[in-house]
Every structure is written in C-alpha cells, then in structure tokens.
Amino acid sequence: MNFDIALMLAQDGIVNGAIYALLALSTVLVFQITRVIFIPSGTFVAFAALTLAALQAGKCPATVWLLVGGGLAVAALDIYQRQWRTCGDLAAILFWNVGYPLALAALLQVVKTDDWPVLAQGALCCLILVPLGPVMYRLVYAPVVAASVLVLLIVSIAVDVALVSFGLLVFGSDGMRAPSMIDVDFALGPLTITGQSLVILGTSVALIAGLYVFFEHTLEGKALRATAVNRVGARLMGIATGKSGKRAFALAVFIAVCAGLLAAPTTTIYYDTGFLIGLRGLVGAIFGGLASYPLAALGAILLGLIESVSAFEASSFKEVIVFSLLIPVLLARTLLTDDPGHEEE
C-alpha cells in the first residue's frame, strides 16, 4: 500500500465513519434515556433510502401505511388506558395519532413527488418516518419500561426482525441507489472529492453541532439530559420520563433517517441492508461505553477507517475484522470499570 492508496482509503473510511457516527450517537442517546439498545436504527436507515426511492418514482411509500396503522393502535391504546385528562389532551391524541397520519397518506395519494427537489423529498421522508419512533416506543417499549436491559435488548431484536420482514413485504428484494445530491467532483492531489462525500461530512457535523446546541441550550434537551442522569430524580422534579422516551426515540429515528438519506447515493440499499449498518453504529457506541457521545463518534470514525483498510487488504474477512474489535473493547471495559451497572429504578 503506497501513500496515495492510504489517502484514498482514509477518505472512504472517514465518509463511511461519519454515517456510523450518526447511528452511534442515536444508539447512545436512546440507551442513556431509556436503557434500550436501539437495534432497529439500522433498519430505519434502509427504510429512509427505500422511502426516498418510492418518492422519486412518484409512488406512495408503503411506510406511510405503517405510520397509519401504528398511529391508530396508539390512539386506541391511549384512549383505552385513559391517558388523557382534558378534552384538549384527547384532541391532541387523535390529531397526532389519527389525523396527521391519515392526512399524510391522503396527500401522498394525490401528489406526485417524482419532480420535487431532493431536499423536499428528504423532508417528506422525515415527516413519514420520524413519527414512527414515538409510536414504536409507546406500543413496544413503554409497557416494558421497567424490564432489565437484557429483556429490552431481546425486545429490540424482535422489533427489528418484524420491521425487516415488513420491509421485505412492501419493498421487495430489489435494491435501490439514489442519485447523488450534488453531482460535482474535483481533484485534490491524488484524491477525487465528490460532492456527495462533502454533503455527508457537512451534514454529519451540522447534526452533531445541532445535538450539542439542543442538549446544552434548550429546556427540552436539558430535560432529556436530566432523565439520562437520574430518571427517578427527573421524575421528582416534574419531568415526564415517558415523554422523554418518546422524544428520544423521535430524535434517534430522525438521525437514522438522515443517515439513510445520506447513504442512499453511496451504496445500493436493500430491505435488510440496515442491519449491518446499525450493528456498526452499535460497535461505535460501545467504543464510547454507551455513555460518551464524543467517544462513540470517534469510535465510529475509527471503525470506518479500519473497515476501509480491511476491505482493501483482506476483503473476505472485512466483517470478521470489524466486529472482532468488540472483543478487546469489551474486555478492556470489563477490566477497567468497577461498577458497570446502570441506574435501576
């Protein structure tokens, strides 16, 4: 390997690592607030790319019907369990869980989106997929919120299997690759810098900076941080930890959808592609001990670099090398951490 090849591998690794860093941050975010290891984050990456493909083909994406079904189930559950005190609360439940999904589905039946700008199509993907985060939390995780981390992990795996099966049912086995968001490239020494790689790096940095501002300078962000530090204490201070869980899932799904929209022009996405991408994000999150956002992001970038070099030097063992990194990291954390336990209520 000469210097030019090393530079090209580093470029490829950093771009891929930026995608993994977003998923690592979403994994840390959800785990810190709800103790859920968010395995389905990778599947939302695939859903975002496939939903974008449907919109670019002028079709109504099937994921909107998943939102309609989930919203109806949440509304029925909230009304049955009387999760409302005033008529305003009931109206809000019906609007966000019934009115909004049905209005979105009706809009997609009459509007052709194939000639929309790619940014508008991406925003529409977010409007379809991001609400699935709170819906998923309310239907699946809220009833078992007090369960152990192992039980929540098993639930996450089951949810991911169900979502992947849904993806195969509605999207089929064919893959898609979206056109580049910016069809520009230029040479920088031995490197060819593409516009899409700049979009990925710029968007990833902007999202990370936005998360920092959100958590440091907004009341909602501080409430989520308080819930992550001490759930019981946050509840005693009047913070609704249940709503914090919904917000954490909405934010995590938003990050995963952004990662999917960014990754769609760089590789062919299939209904089950997101699983391995999500696992790489989880490995990055474990680098940060599922607690540190900076270490998780740096771990994901390192993972991308190692993956890029492994694909060049030993492509047949690329996956083995990447996921084997978990062994020394977990061993080191086990030996160096005195109290690995997370706060239990």
| pLDDT tens-digit series, residues 99-153 | 999 999 999 998 888 888 888 999 999 999 999 999 999 999 989 888 888 999 9
Whether the per-residue pLDDT at 297 is higher than 80: the answer is yes
Give the pLDDT confidence score for residue 237 in this predicted structure: 78
Whether the per-residue pLDDT at 283 is higher than 90: the answer is no
Residue owning tokens 């990055």:
284
What is the arithmetic mean of pLDDT over 83-95? 86
Whether the per-residue pLDDT at 73 is higher than 90: the answer is yes
If 0-12 CB within 10 Å is exposed, 13-18 middle and 19+ buried, where does residue 54 land?
Answer: buried
Task: Round the average pLDDT of the chain to a whole number and report it.
Answer: 86
| pLDDT tens-digit series, residues 227-281 | 777 777 777 777 777 788 888 999 999 999 999 998 888 888 898 888 888 888 8
Of 296, 216, 264, give the one whose Cα is nearest residue 37: 296
Whether the per-residue pLDDT at 336 is higher than 80: the answer is no
| pLDDT tens-digit series, residues 196-207 | 888 888 888 888
Q: Strands, E, within the chain: which ranges?
A: 185-188, 191-194
